[in-house]
């Protein structure tokens, strides 16, 4: 595997693990608020981010590379309300999308078609992630001042389940 690409994927593994940590902080926030459905939504996100990191971890190994783990930055831990949380989520997912695009640029630059194919799955996943978050945020903005509606939304988010992705 090209050295520049290997380093960039290692950096992305760290970013994916940070994302898991980021969602864990939100999980704790919603736990403190006793919003179990929102907490569940964040738990699913945590599991997805972990799976994304492990997909890249395994890919580097499959290609004969070396995984180098770095420290994980401390995420924010307090928000003023669920809308602010999901605004941060959308901002974060857009940032992750830009990172995946940068990885694809490097894979194309070094003419690594296998990496382009592998990373294409992550790009498609990001489109889905941004869409899901946008939908939750739109609904939250409509109902955030109505406690009954927020309660109903919490019940709805409790039904989300983690389905391990087939990466690549």
CATH of the domain at 122: 1.20.1260.10
Asked if 56 and 106 touch (Cβ cutoff 8 Å), the reply is no
Identify whether 31 is part of a domain: yes
Residue the block writes with tokens 């939908």: 135
Report residue 168's pLDDT band, with 50, 70 and 90 as the boundaries. Answer: confident
Report residue 145's pLDDT band, with 50, 70 and 90 as the boundaries. Answer: confident
Report residue 86's pLDDT band, with 50, 70 and 90 as the boundaries. Answer: very high
Q: What's the farthest any 2 CA atoms get from each other in the chain? A: 54
Q: Which residues contact 167 (CB under 8 A, 6 or more apart)?
A: 51, 52, 55, 118, 121, 122
Identify whether 19 is part of a domain: yes
Task: Give the total number of structural domains in the chain.
Answer: 1
What is the four-CA torsion angle of 10, 51, 126, 44, rounded to 10 degrees?
A: -140
Identify whether 97 is part of a domain: yes
Report residue 167's pLDDT band, with 50, 70 and 90 as the boundaries. Answer: confident
Report residue 124's pLDDT band, with 50, 70 and 90 as the boundaries. Answer: very high
How far apart (Å, rounded) are the C-alpha atoms in residues 145 and 154? 14
Report residue 65's pLDDT band, with 50, 70 and 90 as the boundaries. Answer: very high
Identify whether 111 is part of a domain: yes
**What's the whole-number mean pLDDT along residues 48-62?**
98
Enter the pTM of the model. Answer: 0.94
At 5 the pLDDT is 98
Range of the domain at 22: 3-157
Identify whether 164 is part of a domain: no
């Amino acid at each position: 595997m090209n050295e520049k690409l290997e380093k960039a994927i290692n950096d992305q593994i760290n970013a994916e693990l940070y994302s898991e940590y980021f969602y864990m902080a939100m999980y704790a926030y919603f736990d403190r608020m006793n919003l179990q459905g929102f907490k569940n939504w964040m738990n699913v996100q945590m599991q997805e981010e972990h799976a994304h990191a492990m997909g890249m971890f395994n890919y580097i190994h499959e290609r004969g590379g070396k995984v180098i783990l770095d420290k994980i930055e401390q995420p924010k831990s307090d928000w003023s309300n669920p809308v602010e949380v999901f605004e941060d989520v959308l901002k974060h997912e857009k940032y992750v999308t830009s990172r995946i695009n940068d990885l694809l640029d490097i894979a194309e630059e070094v003419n690594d078609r296998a990496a382009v194919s592998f990373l294409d799955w992550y790009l498609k996943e990001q489109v889905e992630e941004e869409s899901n978050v946008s939908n939750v945020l739109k609904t939250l903005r409509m109902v955030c001042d109505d406690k009954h509606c927020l309660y109903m939304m919490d019940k709805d988010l409790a039904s989300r389940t983690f389905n391990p992705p087939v990466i690549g």
